[in-house]
Structure 1
Amino acid sequence: MPDTFPLVVFDLDGTLAETAGDLMGALNHVLAGDGLPPLPVDQARSLLGAGGRALIRRGFASAGRPLAEERLEGLFAAFLAFYEAHIADHSHLFPGVVASLDRLEAQGYAFAVCTNKMEGTAKRLLEVLGVAGRFRAICGQDTFAVSKPQPGALLDTIALAGGTPERSVMVGDSRTDIDTAKAARVPVVAVDFGYTDRPVQDFAPDRVIGHFDALDEAVADLMARRSPEGTIAFKA
């Protein structure tokens, strides 16, 4: 599909931005409301990555407190309210993100975000961080009828951005991202500095990078491996 621009689809938390401090702050606000002690930020990498509701469930489990499912939506509303009021107290883009976007854009790439954050929250964070305008689509847990790791979340994000799966690459930091990309048959680059309780290499992404300086080469290599039929050979 020579007339279709290449697209890089990014996860957000732990991939584009270091957000653990603010997310854990919101979780600890919710835990404190139940009389539970705060969890340290260094536990974030084993708790984050599946959205706010999953974070609350995992936080209560880590604190040893059962959580009745009927309470979840109320706790999630409190979590969101606190988080949105403190959305970038500590959050920042990872080193090299903007320079990498600049280089890829100069080569003709477009960008999108597929996250398990709520869409409005994701857009607000990226606006505060100064990069929202770089993305053709910013899609969250509530954008479509499905969310990651369902492949439709990624495929619908690609479609909304005006791209095609055959000319797209996913960039993420967790098993959720890698499983999503594999199910959608889109190659995936994993960063090794994000939020995962196991080394990201364990989940067999197509490439692993330790800094955004290496993203351009990884994406170009995966794009170059497209077959004449327009598909890309990647790890099963």
Structure 2
Amino acid sequence: MRTVIFDLDGTLADTSGDLLAAANHCFREMGHGDVLNQAQDAGIALRGGRMMLSHGLRRVGAHDESTINSYYPVLLDAYAQDIDTHTQFYPGALDAVAALSATGYGVGICTNKPEHLAELLLTRMGVRDRFLSLVGADTLSVRKPDPEPLREAARRAGGHPDLCVLIGDSDTDRNTARAAGVPSVLVTFGPSGDDMAALEPEALLHHFDDLPEMVRGLIGVAA
């Protein structure tokens, strides 16, 4: 079986609002108030919790690795408590997942979000059963851009790891696919969309309506 493996944050769904809220919870506890905002920092949010803490602390002139280490668990707890208030799937994302599954592709997720949080988010949003696999940042001993999480996501979705494509939104996803020797498709509708062409993926995705045909062109028909 051929598989289509998706990144989660910034690819399937815009999770930035809830991530930023969790980071600002930490900054308020530190006494800085709300440091990050949607207009400026959506792209930073999609790079993960530690990146948000680091970026925000630099903004207020208080960057310190020990503070980041101390507050990272606080951020994760806050995020888990309020994980789906603002998160939305990008237009057409779930329709594309359904279309790929209906034509025989195994569909899975490979994310650098901790696995339990990815499971929680997908379950809360009622779509966990649409994905045959879910590999998170801590599922294995390595994470993206190491290629093994991608390969494992393909295997768990019932496919051969050499016959998959990774749909993502960052240099991490591009480098993961390259290391695995498989094609990548990078989306252009996220906060960093204008930067995707420079990463030279095998394809750029402007709308999920175009993905099924794009996948067929990259890895062939499902069976």
In the superposition, the TM-score normalised over structure 2's length comes to: 0.91
Q: Name which of 101, 105, 108 aligns with 2:101.
A: 105
Matched residue pairs, number?
Answer: 220
Q: Using the alignment, how far apart are the partners of 1:169 and 1:197 within structure 2? A: 19
Note the C-alpha offset of 1:210.
Answer: 1.2
What residue number does 2:181 align with? Answer: 185
Listed as ranges, the gaps of 5+ residues in structure 2 are: none
Q: Using the alignment, how far apart are the partners of 1:199 and 1:208 within structure 2? A: 11
What residue number does 1:230 align with? Answer: none
2:23 pairs with 1:40: no
Q: Using the alignment, how far apart are the partners of 1:63 and 1:197 within structure 2? A: 27
* Cα distance change of structure 1 residues 197 and 92 upon mapping to structure 2, 3 Å threshold: closer
Which residue identity lines up with residue 22 of structure 1 in the other structure?
D
Q: Using the alignment, how far apart are the partners of 2:47 and 2:141 within structure 1? A: 16
Q: Using the alignment, how far apart are the partners of 1:26 and 1:64 within structure 2? A: 20
* Cα distance change of structure 1 residues 187 and 111 upon mapping to structure 2, 3 Å threshold: same
What residue number does 2:20 align with? Answer: 24
Listed as ranges, the gaps of 5+ residues in structure 1 are: 226-236
What residue number does 2:156 align with? Answer: 160
| Contact in 1 for aligned 2:7/2:110 (Cα 8 Å) | yes
In the superposition, the TM-score normalised over structure 1's length comes to: 0.87
* Cα distance change of structure 1 residues 200 and 64 upon mapping to structure 2, 3 Å threshold: farther
Give the 3-state SS of the residue equivalent to 2:162 in structure 1.
Answer: helix
| Contact in 2 for aligned 1:175/1:196 (Cα 8 Å) | no
* Cα distance change of structure 1 residues 208 and 16 upon mapping to structure 2, 3 Å threshold: same
Note the C-alpha offset of 1:118.
Answer: 0.5
Q: Name which of 74, 89, 94 aligns with 2:85.
A: 89
Give the 3-state SS of the residue equivalent to 2:148 in structure 1.
Answer: helix
2:68 pairs with 1:62: no
Q: Name which of 183, 187, 206 aligns with 1:210.
A: 206
Give the 3-state SS of the residue equivalent to 1:165 in structure 2.
Answer: coil
CA RMSD after TM alignment: 1.8
